[in-house]
Amino acid sequence: MIHFLKFNLLCELRPTLPSSIVFSPLEFEDEETNFVINKLEEGFHYVKKLVGEDATSYNIDNHVKEYPYEILHICSHGGEVEGSHLIEQFTDRDGNKHIVEYD
């Protein structure tokens, strides 16, 4: 809890937030979860890992609503299905630009 409070206080002073949430129930044989976590940590992101037993609807709901993050990664298919890569860009009411990418 103390780490969470310190992190939030420090983030108040930064223009960007070096924090990420990675969500995966580890249901698939071919997942990118560990690769994504490692890449984010290499980029000096604090990664909140909602993985395995911690990947519950309750945890993702609370973290998306209350936890400060810049990147949200949800493993939903594990490379098991065909699909398309989509990128959406938008500007929020404060003038901040955001990019949402998903497959």
Whether 10 is in a domain gets the answer no
Whether 7 is in a domain gets the answer no
Percent of the chain residues topping a pLDDT of 70: 80
Given pLDDT bands bounded at 50, 70 and 90, which one contains residue 1? low
Given pLDDT bands bounded at 50, 70 and 90, which one contains residue 81? low
Q: How many domains does the chain have?
A: 1
Contacts with 6 (C-beta within 8 Å, 6 or more apart), sequence order: none
- Using a cut of 0.75, tell me whether the model's pTM lies above it: no
User: Quick one: pLDDT at residue 86?
Assistant: 84
Q: What is the dihedral of CA 64, 47, 75, 26, to 10 degrees?
A: -110
Which residue range forms the structural domain that includes residue 30?
16-102
**Residue 22 near residue 69, CB atoms below 8 Å:** no
Q: E-assigned strands of 8-85? A: 19-24, 46-51, 71-74
Q: 3-class SS at 46?
A: strand
Mean pLDDT (whole number) for 26-39: 87
Mean confidence (pLDDT) of the chain: 83
Whether 44 is in a domain gets the answer yes
At position 32, the amino acid (one-letter code) is: E
